[in-house]
Chains A and B, each alone.
Chain A
Amino acid sequence: MKARFRQSMGWLHTWSGVVFAWLLYFIFVTGSLGYFENEIDRWMKPEIVTSNGISDKQAIDLAMVQLGEHADDASQWYVSLPTSRDPYIEISWLQPGDPEKQVRRQWYEKPLEPNTGDITSIRDTSGGETLYRLHYNLHYVPPLVGYILTSLAGMLMLIGLVTGVIIHRKIFAEFFTFRSAKGLRSWLDIHNVFSVLPLPFHLMITYSGVMLLMGVTMSKVIDSQYGEGRQMHRQFYDASQLEEYTTLVTEILPAGLNVDTALSDAKQRVTDQAISFVGVIDRGTDTEHIEIWFETSEGVEFASLLKYHARAERVEVEIATGKAGQAAAVYDLLEHLHEGLFADIYLRWVYFLCGLFGAAMIASGMIIWLKKQTMKEATPPLLISLIVRLNRGVLVGLPIAVGCYFLSNRLLPVDMSGRAAWEMHVLFAALVLCCLYCLINRSQKQWLTLLWGAALVYFVIPLANMLTTHHGVINSLLNADWLMFGFDLCMWLFAACFGLAAAVVSRQYTGSDVAKKEPLVC
């Protein structure tokens, strides 16, 4: 009974992993990159002028002039003040739609030049945001299809994790175990290491991932219990996210409420945190108010937001104290754990690495499955050999594709029309080309070619940066521009990792007889 149970769970583990393995790999890699969304964004917009040492007051004054000039009819204004992750001033506003002039309702984001106060014109780029959104909208498909596919993949992943724990007999006995150079045994050990050690992360990220899309996937529940239609769903979302507030009366007179007075009041109330955003919401209506956001490294539950409303006698300030509902509070906690916005630089790297471990877990699982399939017979069936080839194309092709995306940001002509879209096309074209190469080419050394290719791409990125912008490695080092410098350095680090991997794999073609009998990777 027990053996049969384990067997069926093993079957479920294998197939829930294999069916969507490539999609899951894609989700994990692009999602991990999302943890460095701001840093990537900054690198992809090299025209941005950083503003060190500008005071909040000065920054806000500059921003207000520009907002008044460009966005007088906008209902919402935000000013993003320089922080350690985004060391520049950025203004954003919600442009109201105007069907007559064919203006779409959309958000605009513009960085400011701190010395002149003008809007900096930056290259048209997809930036870090489009890259990280890939992990749930899949870019080319309609959003709904993307959400459903990623949710399905997430569900299978969740099942894969639970069944994995069930079938792994020696989860504690083999906690520290890795036996190198033992063929399939080593791959199983690698798979275990990448799955078991970050298991808390894997469970959290997978469950919260499917949970974040539950408004789409479980929409029938909202339909039947709350109301149908887009508007009701919107209303449900707002109601479920309802915050509880404490309201305090300030010294400010209603007529004196502006961004400056709110800012100085907020600074008196919260002294130990920097301010990250200032917003003017519902401009020109009865509910007009000012929001002050703090840099949120205070806790996983981030509610560090002050809202200033002008009331009859005095201005009142609302301080969020948490979600109104218990389930909403858990949802909130999981959402923030998933996004990791509270993480400092150390934890951000831990998050990023854990995400890559997830990708490595899927990759090693896929390699184990394919090794088992190819070991069964001398000449594996056509379908299996096709999957083997495609697997190489996807596993190494995706990092190459991301590298090409970064490269395209530097190499595509700056005034090209539809440039941002083309950066994404470059990403997917590189992925498809890698897969095609593996399908067409008959060489046994595909792994080697791809890995060296990846090393080359990542090695070239900082060079391209150096040649096309004033933010090359040396300049960044001299100007102490650690974000730019760190990005370039990471690219070389990745190049070194791929080079190392290539060197390890190349031993299977040149090395001892033992290695020749069974290739390291299939």
Chain B
Amino acid sequence: MLITLILILLLFGFALLSMAMHRHYSQVVGSSMHPVRQQLWLLRIGGTGLNLFALFVCVFSWGVSRGLVYWFGSATMVVFIVIGVLTYRPRWLRWICRSVAYKLQNSSK
């Protein structure tokens, strides 16, 4: 159960981080779209935050040494999934870009 939570946290964390990179953002959204600066920071902070939270959960439930092993192991598995999605099903990540853009629109109003 706990593992599922950690995997989901990391999955979203690394998906957000990958969207904070121009190459993958345009891969998902369209040929030459670039995220604007605020979007970048939103994605970066969100992604890092989720990953750190997963790390916190790991260390909290298994102690430092075992927690780190769980975190690194799970992160490795999760990034493979993110890469697979980016390569073969990039559209699955579209909602991330949309919701970030939506956030910015709302806050600028």
Contacts and interface: CB of A to CB of B under 8 A. Distances in A.
Q: CB atoms of A and B under 8 A apart anywhere in the complex?
A: yes
A173 B18 CA distance: 10
B72 interface: yes
A300 B65 contact: yes
B86 interface: yes
A87 interface: no
B73 A180 contact: no
B21 interface: yes
A347 B69 contact: yes
A193 B24 CA distance: 16
Given A176-B14, A347-B70, 11 more contacts: A175-B79, A176-B79, A176-B83, A178-B86, A200-B76, A201-B72, A201-B73, A299-B66, A300-B66, A333-B65, A347-B69
Contacts of A193: 80, 83
B77 A176 contact: no
Interface string B21-61: 10110000000000000000000000000000000000000
A228 B24 CA distance: 60
A197 B69 contact: no
Interface string A163-205: 0000000000101111110000000000001000110110000
Instruction: Enumerate the 4 nearest inter-chain pairs by beta-carbon distance, A residue then B residue, closest first.
Output: A350-B73, A300-B65, A176-B18, A200-B72
Contacts of A173: 21, 23
20 contacts: A175-B18, A175-B79, A176-B79, A176-B82, A177-B23, A177-B83, A178-B83, A178-B86, A179-B87, A180-B87, A197-B79, A200-B72, A201-B73, A201-B76, A300-B66, A343-B69, A346-B3, A347-B69, A353-B77, A357-B76
A350 B77 contact: yes
Nearest to A173: B21
Nearest to B71: A200
Nearest to A350: B73
A337 B69 CA distance: 8
B60 to A, nearest CB: 14
Residue among A176, A200, A347, A354 with most chain B CB within 10 A: A176
Contacts of B21: 173, 176
A458 B18 CA distance: 37
Contacts of A333: 65
A178 B18 CA distance: 12
Nearest to B19: A176
Interface of A: 173, 175-180, 193, 197-198, 200-201, 299-301, 333, 337, 342-343, 346-347, 350-351, 353-354, 357
A69 to B, nearest CB: 41
Select the residue from B3, B72, B74 with max chain A CB neighbours within 10 A.
Answer: B72
A93 B82 CA distance: 50
Contacts, number: 56
Nearest to B70: A347
B23 A351 contact: no
A197 B76 contact: yes
Contacts of A200: 72, 76
User: From DSSP, what is the main secondary structure of chain B's interface residues?
Assistant: helix
A342 B66 contact: yes
Contacts of B63: 299
A260 B61 CA distance: 34
Nearest to A357: B76
A495 B5 CA distance: 31
A176 B23 CA distance: 10
Contact of A354 (B23, B76, B79): B76
Contact of A351 (B24, B73, B82, B87): B73
A357 B21 CA distance: 25
Contact of B86 (A176, A198, A301): A176
A180 B83 CA distance: 11
Contacts of A353: 77
Nearest to A354: B76
A301 B76 contact: no
Contacts of B65: 299-301, 333
A486 to B, nearest CB: 18
B83 A350 contact: no
Given A299-B66, A333-B65, A350 B87 contact: no
Nearest to A180: B87
B80 A197 contact: yes
B73 A347 contact: yes
Given A178-B83, A346-B3, A300 B76 contact: no
Contacts of B86: 176, 178
Nearest to B62: A299
Contacts of A176: 14, 18, 21, 24, 79, 82-83, 86
B87 A178 contact: yes
Nearest to A196: B79
A175 to B, nearest CB: 7
Contacts of A177: 23, 83
A353 B79 CA distance: 13
A295 B65 CA distance: 18
A300 B83 contact: no
Nearest to B73: A350
A28 to B, nearest CB: 15
A343 B72 CA distance: 14
Contacts of B80: 193, 197
A350 B66 CA distance: 13
A337 B66 CA distance: 9
Of B63, B74, B76, B80, most A-chain CB atoms within 10 Å: B76
Interface string B9-20: 000001000100
A492 B66 CA distance: 32
Contacts of B73: 201, 347, 350-351, 354
Nearest to B6: A346
Contact of B76 (A178, A198, A299, A337): A198
